[in-house]
Amino acid sequence: MIAGPGPEGGRDRGGLRASRADREQVVELLKVAFVDDRLTRDDLDVRVGQALGARTYAELAVVTASIPAEPPADREPAPTPAQVKGEPVRPGAVALVATAVCGGVWALAFFPHWPVNSEGDPSRWLLQLFLMTNLIYVFTMVIAVGFMIVNWLEKRAPASPASGD
């Protein structure tokens, strides 16, 4: 059980008035218990209402008195952020798309006969598109190859020995 605000320094504070900070502290305890899966959403809502309406330490102690110390055994604890992983980054697919886009811009820039200026140079927007696409392509490829190397090293790395050896 979670201990509520109770005796301090050997004397009982149950009959004393609780401050807003005391009520907020109990609400935080209730939130932690909910996150730890020791309270249901409905139970949390009811208890928060009781905590905010409590006037004495004894009333606050009643709100927290019946909270289990541990989550129910039939439920697994919520996974930590390190355990939750989305889809792995696919650097090969990123590199393939970047290469296709860059190749398309090269084809757009060099194959059609675009209007040229009096010196025979292509238009400025076409040159800017070509240069920016190449810059973005190089940047994308550096990142993709970096991810490929990291993934390769993770696969090659030996399993870490169990602690306590």
Domain ranges of the chain: 1-76, 91-156
Q: What is the pLDDT of residue 157?
A: 77
- pLDDT average, residue stretch 76-97: 70
Give the mean model confidence (pLDDT) for residues 18-35.
89
Average pLDDT, the chain: 78
pTM value is 0.41
Average pLDDT over residues 112-140: 82
Which carries the bigger pLDDT value, residue 89 or residue 133? 133
In the chain, the N- to C-terminal Cα span, in Å, equals 36
Confidence at residue 90, expressed as pLDDT on a 0 to 100 scale: 81
In the chain, how many H helices and how many E strands?
A: 5, 0
Closest CA to 98 of 138, 126, 125: 138
Confidence grade of residue 1 (pLDDT, cut at 50, 70, 90): very low
Is 129 within 8 Å of 109 (Cβ atoms)? yes
Please report which confidence band the pLDDT of residue 137 belongs to, taking 50, 70 and 90 as the band edges: very high
Question: What integer pLDDT is reported at residue 89 of this predicted model?
Answer: 66
Which one, of 60, 61, 70, 79, lies nearest residue 39 by Cα?
A: 70
Give the pLDDT of residue 38. Answer: 86
All residues at 6 or more sequence positions from 68 whose CB lies less than 8 Å from its CB, including other chains: 1, 38
Closest CA to 49 of 70, 74, 69, 23: 23
Least confident of 58-62, 65-69, 82-86: 82-86
What 8-state DSSP symbol labels residue 5? S
- Quick one: which H or E segment has residue 103? helix 91-110
43 pLDDT more than 80: yes
Biggest alpha carbon distance in the chain?
96
